[in-house]
Structures are given as C-alpha cells and as structure tokens.
Amino acid sequence: MKQDIFHAIADPTRRAILTLVAIQALTPNAMAEKFDMTRQAVSKHIKVLHECDLIKPVQSGRDIYYHFNAKRMQEFDHWLAQFRQSWETQFNQLDQLLTTLKEQ
C-alpha cells in the first residue's frame, strides 16, 4: 500500500532520516546508529519513506543502501509553490503595514 507523502514527512524521525540520506546514501544499520531507538523502529520509518518513493533502495553486494529521491521531493516542492506565492504576497503586505506603522 502506497503511503501518503504528508504522513511520511509529518514524523520528525522520518524527516531526520531524509536529511541524512540526502547527504549520503546509508544502510538501515547506519541509519539506526544515528537514533536512540531500535533497528526495528528505524526499519518501520524506512518502510514508510520507501513506500512514498522518498527514498530508493540500491543493492550493493550484501548491503542495501537507501538513496534520497530528489525527483519525488521536487514534485512535492512544485505542489507547495502554489502556496508559496500567496505567503510571500501576504508577508510583503505585512512588511509594508509594519513599515507604515513604524514611520507614524
């Protein structure tokens, strides 16, 4: 069953895993060493990220390395872009209002 990307990135541990894997491909054991939780708990987080296509496994000998899927995150960024313009407009209007109030 494919997971929802919003569900995947809502968890701080999964966001931390994404950050680690974006820097360097890692094995599940290497990821587990970075967290104060069991290897099994980290594996559950990896599974959710993999089901969302945010990370991709690559077999290298006996090890599996998980790589960050920038393309999938770019799709998410494009979706966010529609809101970013609205936020920027609102922040600019707030800046102008605050500047006006400060000058008065």
Considering the domain architecture, whether residues 63 and 80 belong to the same structural domain is answered as: no
58 Cβ partners below 8 Å, 6+ apart? 25, 64, 65, 66, 67
Considering the domain architecture, whether residues 61 and 34 belong to the same structural domain is answered as: yes
Considering the domain architecture, whether residues 14 and 60 belong to the same structural domain is answered as: yes
- Helices 12-23, 39-51: axis angle to 10 degrees equals 80
Give pTM, 2 decimals.
0.77
Considering the domain architecture, whether residues 5 and 29 belong to the same structural domain is answered as: yes
pLDDT at 1: 56
- Segments forming the whole domain that contains residue 100: 71-104
Considering the domain architecture, whether residues 87 and 60 belong to the same structural domain is answered as: no
Considering the domain architecture, whether residues 54 and 75 belong to the same structural domain is answered as: no
Considering the domain architecture, whether residues 33 and 59 belong to the same structural domain is answered as: yes
CA distance readout (Å), 72 to 32, 48, 66, 82: 23, 14, 14, 17
pLDDT at 76: 84
| Residue appearing with tokens 């990135």 | 9
State how many domains the chain has: 2
Considering the domain architecture, whether residues 16 and 55 belong to the same structural domain is answered as: yes
- Rounded CA-CA distance 31/38 in Å is 11
Q: One digit per residue, pLDDT tens: the chain, 104 residues?
A: 567 888 899 999 999 999 999 999 999 999 999 999 999 999 999 999 999 999 999 999 999 999 999 998 888 888 888 898 889 999 999 999 999 998 88
